[in-house]
Every structure is written in structure tokens, then in C-alpha cells.
Amino acid sequence: MVLDNLGSSLKSAIQKLANAGKIDKEIIDDVVKDIQRALIQADVNVKLVMKLSNRIKERALTEAPPAGMDSREHVLRIVYTELVNIIGKATPIALEPQTIMMVGLQGSGKTTTTAKLARFFSRKGLKPAVICADTYRPGAYDQLSQLCEKLGVMFYGERDNKDAVAIVRNGLKETQKYDVRIVDTAGRHALETELIKEMKDIWGLTNFTHRFLVLDAAIGQQASEQAKAFNDAVGITGVVITKLDGTAKGGGALSAVSDTNTSIAFIGVGETPDDLERFDPDGFISRLLGMGDLKALVEKANEVLSQKDVNVEKMMTGKFTLNDMYSQLEAINKMGPLKQIMSMLPLGGLGNIPDDAYRMTQDKMQGYRIIMDSMTEDEKDDPKLIGSSRIARIAMGSGRAPEDVRELLKYHKMMQKAMKGMKGGGQSNKNLKKIM
């Protein structure tokens, strides 16, 4: 999994938040400290960590939770959105003709990524061509030409020419008919003046749409220095972080992106040409936190909770009518398969519902509706009024069996009990432990 260690330490920080008896300054400080430790251990630079933790603290302590959301879930969301914020938006990539210059140190995965990118664009219906300007690493020419041959991608290279600038000049001329032209430049073992000069000279040959910096996820703190040097030379438009399939710490590369004010365009997640993913900040953080489709959940929950008919506050303060129960069942129904994540987050109290509620079929809901239609308003408001003679009347009126009416009433009692138990919030925490 991507950034395993960082993921698990962030997860335990968040678990602490979820398990806390109450959400106050002390617990927020504590959790923020854990998050700081997790990020620093993963090589994220201290400045960035401080920026992030100050933001989380400031927001968690000053912003009031929106209606229908408790403070625990509110803080959890702040942590999540701030993590998404520091890694920024993905570099926009237009699916149109363009030229791309790949830069980075030797071994970063530049050549592999060049082939992966050619594959990416050809799958999108564009015709790519690759120009090999890596005259420094002996195997680069053969590696790239073979990869291109396998992928059926146009390759331009001059095996015996050591003049990278001349090769790119010729290559750009030869590949004019192609939609996306990707230049794989030479890396070095370290940043050297010669390397930077070569990058600048190639950069000057044409108006490159993108200059992608390839960074190995394992690079650590020196990532920022590299990124700055390449950025000064050619103006990086996007970063590709490679080898995220390993157990690399990754934080160095993430910091470099933030330090140079660029963004991540793609991530490399394996050695084959298909192992390249468009970077998606939300998906990345969700995956890191092991939260699956948290973003979808949060949106869904907001949508449901914003409906006027789900009056969570009212339900939690005691009175729980049959209509309340019905609305809540409808809301839960809309959550559908998100139940698992749902039970992890004490979202406005909806996270603590008997399992049955999630399995309620449309037919069953319809049956309840019909039975409720045969009740008086008083009965719906206070189902305790309904004794056996009323049950018989309601059953007759709705064309249902008395057992069906009893079942509905029993169900109501169960939900009411769950609602009361939830006021303390303890049950939701139990659910949370189960998942994480």
C-alpha cells in the first residue's frame, strides 16, 4: 500500500480523536502532536508540518461544527480537508497536442515514466512520440526504444550522438506530426552545473507545455533542494512521484511539491507501463487514511443531513415519533452501501443504528408507510397510545396483518432505544474501533 507507515500512524492519530470521551483543546493538541510526529517520520519537512498543524488547530478550536454534525466529526473533517489542502490540487493535463520535457536525477524513474506517459496519452486517443535525450546513462537509449517498440509508440533517438540539445532539436523536427511529444532528458547522480545547463538549453529549444520533475518517493529531505534547482532552471509545471507502490516514506517528495509551489501530476505505482495514475488528492488522502471513499461519504451525509425531515437534534433530545423513525429509515436507505464507513463516523448521530435498518427493503418501507397512513396523528406522535384494539383497527384500515403493525411498533421501540443510547456517543466509538 502507498506510504504504509505514514498511513498507519495517521490512522492511529485519528482513532484517538474518535475514541476521545469529549472533544476539547487537550485532545485536539494531543492528536495534532501525533499527526506532526507521523508526518515528520515520513520525511515531510518541519515547516510544512507546522503550517498544517497550526491550520488544523486554529480551525478545530474556532470553527463551530455545522448544523447536524457533532464536534468529533467536524474535527475529523478538518484534519482530512487540511491534509488534502497541503498536497494541493493535481496538475491539470489537457488532452490535446503538447510537448513535455521530463527532468530528474538518474534512477528517479524518468525513462520508465516517459514510456508510461506515452501509454497514458495513446490510451486517450492521442498520438505520442518519445525523444530520447538521455545521452548520459548508457542503457537509456535501448531501454526507451525497446519500451516504445513494445507499446507501439514512435521513438526518436541518436545512439551515438552525445549532444543532447542537438538530438532534441532534430527530434522535435522529426516528430512534428505527433500529438504529444515527450522528451526524456538525462539525469545525473547529483545536481551538477552541467546538468542544469543542459536542461536550460533543451528548455530553450521550444515552448514546452509541461516540464515534469520525476521524483522517487524514497528521496527524503533532499527532494526540496532538487525541486528548487530544476524549478529555477526550467520552471516545473508538475511533479511525478514514482515508486509509491513501495514502502517509501514519500514525505520528502510531498514537501518538495509544496516548497516549489508546484503540484503533483501523476504517481508511479509499479514498473509496467500501465502503472501510472493520474494524481487525485482526495483519493490519495482517503487511501492513506484507509478511509475508502470518505469523500463520497461526507458529501452523501451532508446531503442527507441537510434534509429538513431528518431532525437529528430533535430525535436525540427525546421525542422520537413514528414519522421521525420513517424519515430516518429513508435517510439510512440513501446511505446504502456506505454503511460501513458510516458506522465509523458518528455523523450527526446517524452512525448508531441497528444493523437491520440498513437492510430495510423498499417493500418493507412501503408497508410501513401504508400502516402509518392508517394511524391518527396522535398515534404517530406517541406510539405508546397504540394498544391491541388500535392495532386491530390499524391493521384493518391498512389491509395488513396485526403482526405487521406490531413489528413496526417493535422496530420503533428499538430505534428509540438506540437514539437514547447515542446521546453519550459511546456506541459510535465502539463501531469505530471495529473498523480501524
Annotated binding site for GTP: 104-111, 184-188, 242-245
| Position 369, amino acid | R
> Least distance to ligand GDP from the beta carbon of 206, Å?
21
The footprint of ligand GDP on residues 170-189 (CB under 6 A) is: 187
**65 or 283, CB closer to ligand GDP?**
283
Residue 3 DSSP SS3: coil
CA dihedral sign of residues 42, 44, 50, 53: negative
**Nearer to ligand GDP (CB atom), residue 109 or residue 425:** 109
Is 198 near ligand GDP (CB under 6 A)?
A: no
157 binds ligand GDP (CB under 6 A): no
Q: Which helix (H) or strand (E) holds 185?
A: strand 180-185
Angle at 307 between CA 306 and CA 311, to 5 degrees: 90
Residue 123 or 423 with smaller CB distance to ligand GDP: 123
| 210, 238 Cβ separation under 8 angstroms | yes
Comparison of 163 and 245: residue with beta carbon closer to ligand GDP: 245
Q: Which residues pair with 98 in a beta bridge?
A: 180
Interface positions, 47-76, toward ligand GDP (CB under 6 A):
none
Containing H/E element for 215?
strand 210-216
CB of 214 to ligand GDP, least distance (A): 6
Q: Which residue is nearest to ligand GDP (CB)?
A: 268
Angstrom distance (rounded) from CA 8 to CA 21:
22
Question: How far is it, in rounded angstroms, from Cα 256 to Cα 11?
Answer: 24
Instruction: Give the count of residues interacting with ligand GDP (CB under 6 A).
Output: 19
In the complex, the smallest distance separating the C-beta of residue 84 from ligand GDP, rounded to whole angstroms, is: 22
Considering only residues 275-314, where is the footprint of ligand GDP by CB under 6 A? 275
CB of 78 to ligand GDP, least distance (A): 32
Q: How many CB atoms lie within 10 A of CB 329?
A: 21
Residue 137 found at the interface with ligand GDP (CB under 6 A): yes
Cell of 380: 404517530
* Grid cell locating 60: 478545530
CB-nearer residue toward ligand GDP: 119 or 295: 119
**Interface characters, 261-280, with ligand GDP (x: CB under 6 A):** -------xxxx---x-----
Among 174, 179, 245, 381, which residue interacts with ligand GDP (rule: CB under 6 A)? 245
Bind-site residues: 104-111, 184-188, 242-245
Per the CB < 8 A criterion, the answer to whether 244 and 268 are in contact is yes
Q: Quick one: which segment of 242-250, 287-295, 297-305, 414-422 binds ligand GDP (CB under 6 A)?
A: 242-250
Nearest approach in angstroms of CB 143 to ligand GDP is 6
DSSP 112-155: HHHHHHHHHHHHTT--EEEEEE--SSTTHHHHHHHHHHHHT-EE
- Rounded to 5°, the CA angle 269-274-279 comes to 50
Q: Which is nearer to ligand GDP, 106 or 170 (CB)?
A: 106
Among 45, 224, 231, 242, binds ligand GDP (CB under 6 A): 242
Q: Is 141 exposed, middle or buried (0-12, 13-18, 19+ CB in 10 A)?
A: buried
Nearer residue to ligand GDP within complex by CB, 15 or 113: 113
- Pure H helices in 242-376: 251-259, 281-288, 294-305, 312-316, 322-335, 339-344, 355-359, 362-373
Among residues 78 and 227, whose Cβ is nearest to ligand GDP? 227
Distance CA(423)–CA(427), nearest Å, equals: 9
CB of residue 188 vs ligand GDP: minimum separation in angstroms?
A: 10
Residue 6 Cβ vs ligand GDP, minimum distance, rounded to whole Å: 17
Q: Read off the DSSP letter of residue 406.
A: H
Interface positions, 101-130, toward ligand GDP (CB under 6 A): 104, 106-112
Minimum Å gap between C-beta 155 and ligand GDP is 15
What does DSSP assign to residue 108? S
Tell me how far, at minimum, the Cβ of 106 lies from ligand GDP, in Å. 4
Q: How far is the CB of 35 from ligand GDP (least distance, A)?
A: 27
Nearer to ligand GDP, 211 or 380 (CB): 211
Coil, helix or strand for 360? coil
Candidates 11-19, 100-108, 227-235, 361-369; binding stretch for ligand GDP (CB under 6 A): 100-108
Q: What are 4's three cell numbers?
A: 504504509
Assigned C-alpha cell, 267: 504517481
Sites of contact with ligand GDP (CB under 6 A): 104, 106-112, 137, 187, 242-243, 245-246, 268-271, 275
